[in-house]
Amino acid sequence: MKVRFQADADLNEIIVRACQRAEPKIDFQTAASAGILGVSDPEILEIAAKLERVLVTHDRRTMPAYFAERLTDNAFSSGVIVVPQSMTVRAVVDDLVLIWTASEAEDWNNRIRFLPL
């Protein structure tokens, strides 16, 4: 199955739109369209796992710790990609489209990756 992305509330939505323009078939849901605005990080990870979506976030401070806690509790994660705020939109889009093109959703199960690739 192809990778499907879920943006959390702090991800720059320009990244989502730019990915969709670069690759129209990419499935990248915004936080607003998923109804997760104002939802806690552990709940966002749970929702992304249930929806089988790789979570994409700028949150380097707390999300990796919640991800690790989730795995420690033997809970499933469909994966997390952490994007530094300092990366250009173009570089982020290039990496995310490459991930979408070159990997399968199962490759991201219980994995966290920090961009750039």
The pLDDT of residue 3 is 98
> Could you give the CA distance from residue 83 to residue 72 in angstroms, rounded to a whole number?
23
The pLDDT of residue 63 is 97
Q: Which residue has the tokens 């966002």?
A: 44
Domain ranges, ordered by start, for the chain: 4-114
pLDDT in tens, 7-50: 999 999 999 999 999 999 999 999 999 999 999 999 999 999 99
Q: Could you tell me the end-to-end alpha-carbon distance of the chain, in angstroms, rounded to an integer? A: 21
High-pLDDT (> 90) share of the chain, %: 100
pLDDT in tens, 52-85: 999 999 999 999 999 999 999 999 999 999 999 9
> Could you give the CA distance from residue 116 to residue 32 in angstroms, rounded to a whole number?
25
C-alpha pair distances (Å), 70 with each of 18, 58, 73, 76: 30, 19, 5, 7
Average pLDDT over residues 101-105: 98
Domain at 4-114, CATH class: alpha beta
